[in-house]
């Protein structure tokens, strides 16, 4: 990006302390074009106007797609002034904890201090040089240094740094894994950056406590290591970014992650208090799909969610979100640190909070016992697990460290299996299958009898539905609803979701309002979309 955006006017010897420096973080979703092949990829879009943009393009020298961050170039004098001002600012101010919501005040405050310092040092620079210096000051003091611009890229899912001397990689929603032109070359610099990530996440990291797992103010999840003893290339970090508003069920139809029929089926299962588990590998979209399912929870129901790092974002009024907390000091004889609040602790307390639905972000350990006890005693619950298929999930539940009995595992009703796969060379997330747990073997670990009402055909990228649903039969018996009526309701809801998709109703609030309205006045909603 050129620097013709800067004015060529000299500032006075005694600068007026007024804010002239402005930035604009690009929040609107920019439509990116499709390309027939990777070799044709060549797209540029803004991140922080007018100072930073990104150029995603094919690099013929390395034969790969690269993600090139473009920022203002500094000449030698501008670099000298930037170092001088940064060193001085470190002595007089500390704004590392200032939230993004206060960015205008931060900019004004920084500009005032920088102008005062330049006056004291007797430095005369042009206005365009001043603004370039201010951009880097803002980026490094208030933001996240070199990666601050790409933190504002809507299309980035993950930011991955593997240590010094190696480029940072990103996972792009459209172009997938790409190498960037951002490199940390100095261990003290990278260690200082990891310390900054820890501060932003409200955590502490050191040589004695070298692993960081936390959440940044914008909701991104950060995992980092601090020393060469943990990683031979030096400190590392991985940031998982989340959209400000989660994908709605209708948006997942647009992505072809799931079909309207699968969502209509799960909507009915949730309404009639089924227990649902979303499983899959890393990056398969488990949490995003779980968040989409939460749209179908009845509007008046009390929801309690439990996570170790906040990822869920529900458009639900009667929602109590709970976050686990790490302890400090040495662990006691049961392995718990002082002040620690674990998922297990939160889950035990949640059942005293009269929840209608319990959502656990990820099941890994002993909290599963409490969750499945709740399921078996009539508390409908949702959760996610790392498992590639139903058998693997059941095996994990029945063996250490979870060690559930087959009877408790049978409390689970529906398992949604997520995968990350490729369609026409492009990485996508899909529901591979939906399984209904019928029974779990007492004799063989990991063995179960289950029915699969939905299966995806990988050759055609289409979903197939079998009419003999075990869950529908279960709902019919327990609630006295004829199967024919359930099937009719299933078809109506599938049509409704399809009509919402055709009308491009993707927005978070509007989708939730329509689903809530359907619970209260279904005929009105069906008439609105000309279904009846």
**CA–CA dist 126, 418 (Å, integer):** 55
- pLDDT for position 98: 47
Phi, psi dihedral angles at 108 (to 5 degrees): -65, -45
Confidence of residue 6 (pLDDT cuts 50, 70, 90): very low
The predicted pLDDT at position 323 comes to 83
Helices (H), ranges, 378-469: 390-398, 406-409
Peptide bond into 474 cis (omega under 30): no
Instruction: Place 77 in a pLDDT band, splitting at 50, 70 and 90.
Output: very high
* Class of the CATH-defined domain 24-240: alpha beta
CB 401 within 8 A of CB 366: yes
**Quick one: pLDDT at residue 243?**
72
Q: What percent of the chain has pLDDT over 70?
A: 91
What class has domain 249-321+359-528? alpha beta
pLDDT score of 17 more than 50: no
Is residue 297 a contact partner of residue 275, using CB atoms and an 8 Å limit?
A: no
Helix/strand number for the chain, H first, E second: 15, 19
pLDDT tens-digit series, residues 132-164:
999 999 999 888 999 999 999 999 999 999 999
10 Å CB burial of residue 529 (0-12, 13-18, 19+) is: middle
Cis? peptide before 76, omega within 30° of 0: no
What would the pLDDT profile of 232-258 be if each residue is shown by its tens digit?
899 999 999 877 677 899 999 999 999
Query: 249-321+359-528: same fold as 24-240?
Result: no
Kindly list the domain boundaries of the chain, sorted by start residue.
24-240, 249-321+359-528
| Mean pLDDT, rounded, for 475-498 | 96
The predicted-structure confidence for 197-237, as pLDDT tens digits, reads as follows 999 988 889 888 899 988 898 888 899 999 888 888 999 99
Rounded mean pLDDT, 113-132:
90
User: Please, which contacts does 197-202 make with residues 24 or more away whose CB atoms are closer than 8 Å?
Assistant: 197/144, 197/222, 197/224, 197/237, 197/239, 198/224, 199/96, 199/97, 200/96, 200/97, 200/144
Q: What is the pTM of this model?
A: 0.79
Scan for tokens 């529906």, then name that residue. 414
Confidence band for 322, pLDDT divided at 50, 70 and 90: confident
Is residue 44 scored above 80 in pLDDT? Answer: yes
Angle, helices 260-271 vs 286-293, to 10°: value is: 60
| Sheet of 156-161, strand order | 24-25, 42-49, 52-59, 64-70, 176-183, 167-172, 156-161, 236-240, 221-225, 211-215
pLDDT at position 18, please?
Answer: 42
Residue with structure tokens 């932003």?
A: 200
């Amino acid at each position: 990006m050129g620097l013709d955006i800067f004015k060529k006017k000299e500032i006075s010897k005694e600068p007026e302390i007024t804010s002239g420096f402005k930035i604009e973080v690009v929040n609107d979703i920019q439509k990116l074009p499709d390309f027939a092949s990777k070799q044709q990829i060549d797209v540029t879009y803004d991140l922080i106007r007018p100072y930073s943009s990104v150029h995603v393009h094919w690099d013929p020298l390395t034969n790969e797609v690269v993600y090139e961050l473009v920022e203002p170039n500094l000449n030698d004098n501008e670099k000298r002034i930037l170092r001088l001002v940064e060193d001085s600012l470190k002595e007089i101010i500390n704004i590392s904890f200032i939230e993004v919501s206060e960015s205008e005040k931060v900019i004004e405050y920084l500009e005032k201090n920088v102008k005062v310092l330049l006056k004291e040092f007797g430095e005369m620079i042009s206005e365009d040089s001043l603004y370039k210096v201010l951009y880097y000051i803002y980026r490094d003091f208030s933001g996240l240094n070199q990666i601050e611009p790409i933190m504002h890229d809507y299309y980035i899912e993950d930011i991955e740094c593997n240590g010094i001397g190696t480029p940072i990689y990103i996972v792009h929603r459209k172009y997938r894994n790409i190498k960037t032109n951002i490199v940390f070359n100095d261990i003290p610099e990278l260690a200082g950056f990891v310390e900054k990530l820890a501060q932003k996440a409200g955590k502490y990291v050191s040589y004695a406590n070298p692993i960081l797992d936390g959440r940044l103010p914008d909701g991104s999840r950060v995992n980092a290591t601090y020393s060469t003893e943990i990683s031979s290339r030096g400190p590392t970090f991985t940031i998982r970014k989340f959209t400000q508003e989660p994908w709605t069920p209708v948006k997942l139809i647009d992505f072809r992650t799931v079909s309207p029929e699968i969502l209509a089926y799960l909507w009915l299962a949730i309404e009639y208090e089924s227990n649902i588990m979303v499983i899959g590998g890393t990056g398969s979209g488990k949490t995003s799909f779980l968040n989409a399912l939460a749209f179908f929870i009845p509007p008046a129901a009390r929801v309690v969610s439990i996570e170790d790092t906040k990822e869920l974002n529900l458009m639900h009024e009667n929602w109590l979100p709970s976050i686990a907390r790490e302890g400090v000091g040495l662990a006691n004889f049961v392995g718990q640190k002082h002040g620690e609040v674990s998922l297990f602790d939160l889950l035990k307390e949640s059942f005293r909070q009269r929840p209608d639905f319990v959502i656990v972000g990820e099941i890994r350990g002993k909290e599963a016992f409490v969750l499945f006890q709740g399921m078996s005693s009539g508390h409908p619950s949702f959760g996610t697990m790392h498992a590639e298929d139903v058998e693997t999930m059941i095996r994990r539940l029945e063996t250490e460290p979870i060690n559930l009995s087959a009877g408790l595992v049978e409390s689970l009703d529906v398992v949604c299996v997520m995968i990350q796969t490729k369609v026409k060379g492009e990485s996508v997330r899909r529901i591979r299958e939906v399984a209904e747990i019928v029974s779990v073997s007492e004799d063989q670990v990991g063995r179960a009898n289950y029915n699969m009402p939905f299966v995806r055909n990988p050759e055609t990228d289409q979903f197939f539905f079998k009419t003999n649903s075990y869950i529908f039969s279960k709902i019919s018996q327990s609630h006295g609803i004829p199967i024919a009526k359930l099937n009719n309701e299933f078809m109506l809801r599938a049509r409704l979701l399809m009509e919402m998709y055709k009308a491009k109703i993707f927005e978070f609030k509007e989708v939730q309002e329509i689903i809530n309205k359907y619970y209260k006045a279904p005929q009105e909603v069906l008439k609105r979309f000309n279904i009846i």
